[in-house]
Structure 1
């Protein structure tokens, strides 16, 4: 991955900590739902990193096992602070309060909070998550529509949606879907390059 950070004033340890702490408390839906907020602050507002950095991080964190939020924050911290220890500390400190709050709420919900209230919160949060993910998906669709035909995008969407809905959870292993589409895209690129070379030779 190429480091394409912009030439602006780099953030301090505490500024990054405070930023990721706020994002962890005010974003719902996991790592993918956090990335639009991370992009807003790190790319658009402060210009610490580029869109290409965020795109690379998003692809890599979703291709690897583990929490994409932790991996994304860790990589951005490492990219900006140039120190493994500082990056690890920022990630740990900024996500620790959010994690502790989760366990407290989980404990309270089991003993004191009626499940009906939790269902109301869940229904309220879901549209926000969907909107964030749709906004991000449309952005990538606009960026990559010259690389892949719209039909391929729709095919990927239909297959992944069908896989998520129809395949039972114990056997729903996302890595198989990722590997399948990587192979398909490599074959597509190979055919496209072969046709392009054939036209040049003609």
Structure 2
């Protein structure tokens, strides 16, 4: 199991150029589709909780998922596997790019990555929207999207606060439904 944890997060560490947001779809692919360690819903919940905590998102995901699959050693294994390739490649790339920082091809390389990351994030977002639409209904989903956009854009509230409030509301709703169920039984 430890070898699988290492491979899953090492691949993400190697191919996840662009930082955490670009790597999230790769983590989802490994964890949900390739190894089947989590359902898409569990991954979404894990991602939401990880977003509320400080620190790099993919490291938190690797640590948590590694822990859930392989205990403390799995957490260390996952976190190391996801960080090591990036750290080594950064040292290598920065030493090379610093020599050629004024070249047009270096600027073109940096600008070319942005559209790819945008598409990856769009695909991940659309997946979450479709899942919410099927679970909550499209009316509520659209209402939540508009509400979140207003709270983020107009009022400048940090996304972690919105996620925390929605998690608390969901837990309260679940608790109320359970009390209702117990009262009717």
TM range (shorter): 0.7 to 0.9
Q: Do the aligned partners of 2:32 and 2:40 also contact (CA within 8 Å) in 1?
A: yes
Counterpart of 1:117?
A: 105
Paired with 2:27 and 2:169, the residues of 1 have a C-alpha distance of 33
- Bigger helix share: 2
Return the offset for 1:185.
8.3
Instruction: Give yes or no for the alignment of 1:98 onto 2:90.
Output: no
Instruction: Give yes or no for the alignment of 1:138 onto 2:130.
Output: no
Structure 2: unaligned runs, 5 residues or longer: 181-185
Q: 2:152 aligns with which of 157, 160, 167?
A: 160
What aligned pairs does 1:1-202 form with structure 2 within 5 A after superposition? 12-81=1-70, 83-145=71-133, 146=136, 148-161=140-153, 176-179=158-161, 182-183=164-165
**CA offsets 1:26-65 (integer angstroms, 9 cap, x no match):** 1223223222122222212321222232112210111111
Report the CA distance shift for 1:55/1:34 in structure 2 as closer, same or farther (over 3 A). same
Paired with 2:25 and 2:160, the residues of 1 have a C-alpha distance of 22
Return the offset for 1:137.
0.9
**CA offsets 1:70-107 (integer angstroms, 9 cap, x no match):** 000111111111x2133213321442132121122123
Structure 1: unaligned runs, 5 residues or longer: 1-11, 168-173, 198-202
Paired residue total: 171
Counterpart of 1:200?
A: none
Q: Do the aligned partners of 2:52 and 2:163 also contact (CA within 8 Å) in 1?
A: no
Report the CA distance shift for 1:97/1:155 in structure 2 as closer, same or farther (over 3 A). same
Provide TM-score, normalisation by structure 1. 0.70
State the SS of the aligned residue for 2:98. Answer: helix
